[in-house]
Chain A
């Protein structure tokens, strides 16, 4: 019988370490090949449609489309078809600023949003061919008045709009009642998108497979239970936690911050030769949060009306013209893609612009501006 040869301790260590490493690597490779064999993961729509922005916390990714091809952003990151940087001659450009209610979350295609519908209605009304109407949908989901103001100053002014509609209040109101430590520059709630890189262990296919706590940026299988709010809000859990005592009243100081932003928008628009238009916001009036929601939106709409009166700004009192109803709204503030929903909203806005003569005034201004240049 052959005698077994003794293995030195050093060899045993090397053997063990190599064996463990090989086993681990082969397991990693097997899991990786499993991932590769799977159809590519459909990236979370909201995650892939937005990117971090240094001044707006987040912004739409230009030239993108969602997985089911119902929502697209053009080269300027605006929902809808492409527009040229230089405004074509004989064109009145209207910028619609707002959050998801302007972006039109409920619209099944880009052509069904309220700005797109409004463009068609205005075309029909001013159809003599002397000038064209172009409506830009500058609504960004979840964005607040401050972000739209910065968007207006940093990008939209470069597109030379003639009229700008400011339709904010819903998200601002939420930030007021959901967070007790409100700050007027909204840093109590907003964080820059992109602050959630994968955890170090997520680079391992094996661990990613076995551990359920993957992040939204996992390189193999991104977590899907993440929405835009979770990416851009400091404490997203609070936003949805309406338990008694968590939510508070929208105080005058909070509403003053919102009013300041609306006022700044009016000033910047006028300072740049743009006609500002304000509008109030609609909200379900019987949400079961002890009336907090209802009172907050009442104060916000009052602030909007105050600015409109004080500064003599055109106002579309949408809250009065289209009160909340379960037929046209599918949640507390978003309209359905129906003629009575987004179609009606577009009609109200178009009608108001026509009745207030805003488009005609914009035409006159352009004519005066051109005449002035010719005279000089």
Chain B
């Protein structure tokens, strides 16, 4: 009986690898087909609303609209209608800086945010004024006072604002409450956003399907919708501070110090650039817990800055926390307002009334930049 011909080692390798490769490719093809015709193909692809920034971690991506088409970002990466970088003649330009409460998370359209309401109230009041009023929504969800300050001095000053309202506190308080450590430059809690790209393995439809929970929001087949902004920018999010630190009231003190320093820098930069600074306190659900304690300390610090010399004479304070206490009809969570007359609209009215009462808009209207343009 003749012996079986010997198979060379190369053939063995090819025989072994070829079926493996074919099998793998077939499975990749199946997974790809699933993504192309399966349920995920019908879901709208989310537009990434944020982009990395080397100095403020992230900014809003310009010219984007969210999935529900309720929020749109203009060409400057700010919520609302587009505007010219060069301030039009005889225009008082008001900047509203802040976090999600300024961005107005609860607003169902860009025209229902608190800055949009503020603009409408001011325009109604100053119908006969020799200048027009333009309010820019410079709120970015998640922003602390430090990020607002950096945004203000790196980009917003270029828009030649006349008035700037700083409305930050909540996210600063989060930074103090949710981490074991605290650094006054908030580097304990933030990490840079990015890279905004999928992992290498996510280009495989099969692996993307098998490890769906580990995918990024940038997966080319099925973007992970469970990852939110917080997950992208926070370091060790949700750490509980040690009990001994809580009993000493440290989070409240350190947060108020950092916020106070940033607010002072904001006032200084604004005044140095001929911008009228306005500070404001923030409303928060008072459950007598740590968060409320930190918020109270921060609000007190803002009031102290606005009351103490020399700032008392230089800064206007809108004490929103006292004028609009938390109530379930106006707020849908601990700090965000509903899109209804007693919610965002009321907030816009409170700010408008304060600016009118203090004569801020008239003062800005008399400024050389507005007058010279007239």
Given contacts A154-B146, A158-B261, A186 and B16 within 8 Å (CB-CB): no
Cβ-defined contact, B13 with A54, below 8 A: no
Complex contact B192–A264 (CB within 8 A):
no
Binary B-proximity of A133-156 (CB < 8 A = 1, otherwise 0): 000000000000011011001110
Stretch from B50-58, B327-335, B357-365 at the A interface: B50-58
> What are the residues of chain B within 8 A of A158 when measuring CB–CB?
184, 261
CA distance A192 to B20 in the complex (A): 41
Q: Find out whether the CB atom of B55 lies under 8 angstroms from the CB atom of A150.
A: yes
A305 at the interface (CB under 8 A from B): no
What 0/1 readout, one digit per residue, does chain B (42-68) give for beta carbons within 8 Å of chain A?
000000000011111100000000000
**Neighbouring A residues of B158 by C-beta, 8 Å:** 184, 257, 260
Q: Is B287 an interface residue (CB 8 A)?
A: no
Q: Which of A14, A157, A190, A192 has the most CB of B within 10 A?
A: A192
What interface size band does chain B fall in? 35 or more
B52, A264: Cβ atoms closer than 8 Å: no
Query: Does residue A271 face the partner (Cβ distance < 8 Å to B)?
Result: yes
Which one, B146, B153, B200, B273, contacts A149 given CB within 8 A?
A: B153
Give complex CA distance A16, B272 in Å. Answer: 75
Residues of A within 8 Å of B124, CB to CB, are: none
Q: Is A187 an interface residue (CB 8 A)?
A: yes
Contacts of B4 in A (CB 8 A): 4, 6
Identify the interface centre among A55, A155, A270: most chain B CB within 10 Å of its CB. A55
Bound together, the chains give a CA A187 to CA B56 distance in angstroms of 11
Contact A16 B155 (CB under 8 A): no
Is B356 an interface position by the 8 A CB rule? no
CB closest chain-A residue, reference B267: A271
Q: Let me know if A154 and B157 touch, CB within 8 A.
A: no
Contact B55 A272 (CB under 8 A): no
Answer whether residue A68 sits at the interface, using C-beta atoms and an 8 A cutoff: no
B3: Cβ under 8 A from any A Cβ: yes
CB atoms of B268 and A190 under 8 A apart: no
Q: Check if B12 is an interface residue, CB within 8 A of chain A.
A: yes
Q: Given that A146-B55, A185-B155, A186-B54 are contacting pairs, would A194 and B192 also be in contact in the complex, using a CB cutoff of 8 Å?
A: yes
Cα–Cα distance between A246 and B41 once the two chains are bound (Å):
45
State whether the Cβ of A53 lies closer than 8 Å to any Cβ in chain B.
yes
**Per DSSP, are chain B's interface residues mostly helix, strand or loop, or mixed?**
helix
Interface centre among B155, B158, B273 (most CB of A within 10 A): B158
Q: Is the CB–CB distance between B157 and A54 below 8 Å?
A: no
A272 touches B268 (CB 8 A): yes
Q: How far is the CA of A154 from the CA of B55 in the complex (A)?
A: 12
Chain B residues whose C-beta falls within 8 Å of the C-beta of A42 in the assembled complex = none
Report the nearest A residue to B199, measured CB to CB. A200
Bound-complex Cα distance A195 to B39 (A) = 35
- Contacts of B261 on A, CB cut-off 8 Å? 153, 157-158, 272
Q: Give CA–CA (A95, B177) in the complex, Å.
A: 31
* Cα–Cα distance between A267 and B275 once the two chains are bound (Å): 12
CB distance from B267 to the nearest CB of A (A): 6
Q: How many A-B residue pairs have CB under 8 A?
A: 131
A13 at the interface (CB under 8 A from B): yes
Whether A352 sits at the interface, judged by CB under 8 Å, is no
Q: Which of A176-234 contact B (CB under 8 A)?
A: 184-187, 190-192, 194-195, 200
A20→B194 CA distance, assembly (Å)? 37
Residue B243 CB within 8 A of the other chain: no
Residues from chain A with a CB closer than 8 A to the CB of B138 are none
Q: Which residues of B contact A270 (CB under 8 A)?
A: 268, 272
**Across the interface, which residues of B come within 8 angstroms of A17, CB to CB?**
16-17, 20
In the bound complex, CA of A192 to CA of B17 (Å): 42
Q: Does B264 contact A (CB under 8 A)?
A: yes
Residue B244 lies at the interface, judged by CB distance under 8 Å to chain A? no
B54 touches A57 (CB 8 A): yes
Asked if A267 and B155 sit within 8 Å, CB to CB, the answer is: no
Within 8 Å by CB of A154, from B52, B185, B195, lies B185
Q: CA–CA, A147 to B265, complex, Å?
A: 15
| A268 sits at the interface (CB 8 A) | yes
Report Cα–Cα, A150/B187, bound state, in Å: 13
Residue-wise interface mask of A (155-179) relative to B, using a CB-CB cutoff of 8 A (1 in contact, 0 not)? 1011000000000000000000000
Specify which chain B residues have a CB less than 8 angstroms from the CB of A263 in the assembled complex. Answer: 272-273
Q: Which residues of A contact B191 (CB under 8 A)?
A: 52, 54
Return 8 A-B CB contacts under 8 Å, by A number. A55-B56, A185-B55, A187-B53, A264-B153, A267-B268, A268-B265, A272-B268, A311-B272
A154-B185, A267-B269 known; 4 other A-B pairs, CB under 8 Å?
A54-B186, A54-B191, A264-B157, A311-B272
Q: Which residues of B contact A (CB under 8 A)?
A: 1, 3-4, 7, 9, 12-13, 15-17, 19-20, 52-57, 146-147, 149-150, 153-155, 157-158, 184-187, 190-192, 194-195, 200, 261-262, 264-265, 267-269, 271-273
